[in-house]
Amino acid sequence: MRQSHQLPLVGLLLFSLIPSQLCQSCVVSEKDYSHLRLLISAMDNLEQIRGIYGASILLSQRLARIQNPSLEEELSQRIQDDMNRRDMSNLTSGQLALIILAFGACKNPDVRFIHDHHLVEKLGEKFKEEIKNMEIHNGNPLTNYYQLSFDVLTLCLFRGNYSISNVTHYFNPENKNFNLSGHFSVDTGAVAVLALTCVKRSISNGKIKAAIKDSDTIQKYIESLVHKIQSEKNGGLFGNAYSTGEAMQALFVASDYYQNESNCQETLDAVFNNISQGVFRLPIAAAQILPALLGKTYLDVNKTATCPQSPVNITDEPVPVVPTLSPENISVIYCVKINEISNCINITVKNGSVFLDVMKAAQEKNSTIYGFTMTETPWGPYITSVQGIWANNNERTYWELLSNNKSLSQGAGNYVVKNGEHLEIRWATY
C-alpha cells in the first residue's frame, strides 16, 4: 500500500443526513472512522483507476458524500474522455449504467453530459439487446445478470424505457443466471433486489403502470432474493467480502435484518477485519463497500438533490497496513483442468507472489499447456483463455480460480499464494 497522506477536503456527512431508513441500516460509528480512512485512501489511488472504470469510484464518492473536488473532477474528465474515444457499442450495458448513476448521483455539471449524449436512451437500447440475446441464446444475456440488474435499476431511477413483462419474466430468483458454478451469486442477487425495489416503488407511486399481479410478483421476487442472500451469511459476511457491501444495501431496503444491533455489529466486525487485512486495497473494492458503511444505497442516487458542500472532516491519518513477508521462495502445485483432464506442475515463486505470477511461471515452462490470455479490469487481470479455449457468455463458460479445491473470491492479480497450496484454473460453467 502506498504511503498515507493528508486527504485535502475529504470528509463525510454522517448521521444528521442519513435518511429515515437508519433503523434498518448499519452505520460505522465515529470511533471506527479509521477503517473508513483506509477505504478513502484506497479510492484516491488514481494509478489504479482507468477511464470509464472510474465510474464506480465516482458513484461511491457521491453517495458517501466525500468531499475531494480535485479527485472528482479528474475522475469525471477521465470517464468523459474515455467515452469520447470509444464507440458506444464498445461499452457494455452495465458499464453505461454505472456511468449514468455516477454522473447523476447528485446535481452537478456531469448531469448535462447524460442529457447531451442521450445516455439513458442508449442504455434502454442496450437493455433491449440483452433481452434479444436471451431470447436467441437459451436465456443467456450478452453480459450477465449483475449488469442487467444495474441496467434495470438505472432505467428505473432515470425514467428510461424498460418492460415490466421482461422484469417479471427474466428476474425470477430461480433463474439460472443468478447462479455461478451452481451457487447463488450474492452480489448479483443484491443488485437485483435494489432494481426490483425501485420498480416496485415506481409502480406504487404511479410513475409506471403495471397490473397488481406484476407488483405482487416483484414483491415475491424481492423476498425470495433476500432470503437467498441471508442464507449465504458466513461469519458476518454475505457470500464473501466483496459481495457484502451490496448485500448490506439490499438488506437495508428490503428487510428488517439490521434492526437487530447484534447483526449489525457482526457484519461491521467482519468487514473491519477484512479492511485491516488489505482485502479492500483496490479502489473498486473500497468503492463497493463504502456506501453501505454509511447507510447509503444505490437507490439514494438523486439527480435533483444538490451535492453536499459542508461535510464533517475526518482529519486523522490512516495507518498503512504493511504485511510482513519472508524473503524466501515458496513452492506450489499449479494445475489446468479442462473437463476431467488435469495437467499439473510444481512451481517455485517468491513469497508474496500472486496467482498470476504462478500462471506466468508455468507458461514460461510450457506455453502449450499453460499458455493463457487476459484482459485488464477494475478488479485486476481477468483470464479470458487458457490453451486457446476462450470464456464465452453465450455458452456461460469461464475460467475459475481455485485453491485447495475451493473457488477464490479474489482475482489472479490479487490473491497471494501460500507455500504448499494446490492451485487450479478450471474450465467451468455458470
In this predicted structure, what is the pLDDT of residue 132? 96
Q: Mean per-residue pLDDT for 310-337?
A: 64
Angular region, 405: left φ>0, alpha ψ -120 to 50, beta rest: left
Residue 409: how many CB atoms within 10 A of its CB? 15
In this predicted structure, what is the pLDDT of residue 5? 32
What residue ranges do the domains of the chain occupy? 11-313, 329-429
Of 392 and 21, the structure prediction assigns the larger pLDDT to: 392
Burial class of residue 213 in the structure, from the number of CB atoms within 10 Å of its CB (0-12 exposed, 13-18 middle, 19+ buried): exposed
Task: Name 341's bridge partners.
Answer: 338
In this predicted structure, what is the pLDDT of residue 187? 96
- Per-residue model confidence as pLDDT tens digits over 24-65: 689 998 899 999 999 999 999 888 888 999 999 999 999 988
Q: Mean per-residue pLDDT for 120-132?
A: 97
Residue 378 has pLDDT above 80, yes or no: no
Q: Mean per-residue pLDDT for 142-165?
A: 96
- Per-residue model confidence as pLDDT tens digits over 95-115: 999 999 999 998 888 999 999
Domain 329-429 sits in CATH 2.170.130.30? yes
Q: Mean per-residue pLDDT for 370-377?
A: 90
In this predicted structure, what is the pLDDT of residue 326? 55
In this predicted structure, what is the pLDDT of residue 331? 95
Residue 9 has pLDDT above 70, yes or no: no
Mean pLDDT computed over every residue of the chain: 88
Under CATH, which number does the domain 11-313 receive? Answer: 1.50.10.20
- Cα four-point dihedral sign 198, 186, 98, 46: positive
Q: Is 87 within 8 Å of 73 (Cβ atoms)?
A: no
What is the band of 19 on the pLDDT scale with cuts at 50, 70, 90?
very low
Residue 320 has pLDDT above 80, yes or no: no
Residue 313 has pLDDT above 70, yes or no: no
Q: Is 211 within 8 Å of 205 (Cβ atoms)?
A: no
Q: Is 94 within 8 Å of 143 (Cβ atoms)?
A: yes
Helix, coil or strand: residue 331:
strand
Of 319 and 152, the structure prediction assigns the larger pLDDT to: 152
- Per-residue model confidence as pLDDT tens digits over 192-235: 999 999 999 999 888 888 888 999 999 999 999 999 999 999 99
Instruction: For residue 12, give the C-alpha cell.
Output: 463525510
Residue 22 has pLDDT above 50, yes or no: no
In this predicted structure, what is the pLDDT of residue 327? 54
In this predicted structure, what is the pLDDT of residue 415? 87
C-alpha 418/C-alpha 412 separation (Å) is 14
- Cα four-point dihedral sign 243, 248, 249, 253: positive
Query: In this structure, which long-range contacts are made by residues 288-291, counting pairs with CB atoms below 8 Å and at least 24 apart in sequence?
Result: 288/56, 288/60, 288/242, 288/245, 288/246, 289/39, 289/241, 289/242, 289/244, 289/245, 290/36, 290/39, 290/40, 290/43, 290/60, 290/63, 290/64, 290/245, 291/60, 291/63, 291/64, 291/245, 291/249
In this predicted structure, what is the pLDDT of residue 74? 94
> What's this model's pTM, rounded to 2 decimal places?
0.82
Q: Which backbone phi and psi does 70 adopt, to 5 degrees?
A: -65, -40
Residue 261: how many CB atoms within 10 A of its CB? 9
Q: Which helix (H) or strand (E) holds 333?
A: strand 329-338
Q: Is 181 within 8 Å of 400 (Cβ atoms)?
A: yes
Task: Could you list the residues known to form a binding site, using ranges.
Answer: 143-147, 187, 240, 288, 382-383, 399-401, 408, 430
Nearest to 379 by CA among 331, 415, 351: 415
DSSP string, 43-67: HT-GGG--GGGGHHHHHHHHHHT--
Task: Could you list the residues known to form a binding site for cyanocob(III)alamin, using ranges.
Answer: 143-147, 187, 240, 288, 382-383, 399-401, 408, 430
C-alpha 204/C-alpha 180 separation (Å) is 33
Nearest to 99 by CA among 382, 309, 378, 398: 378
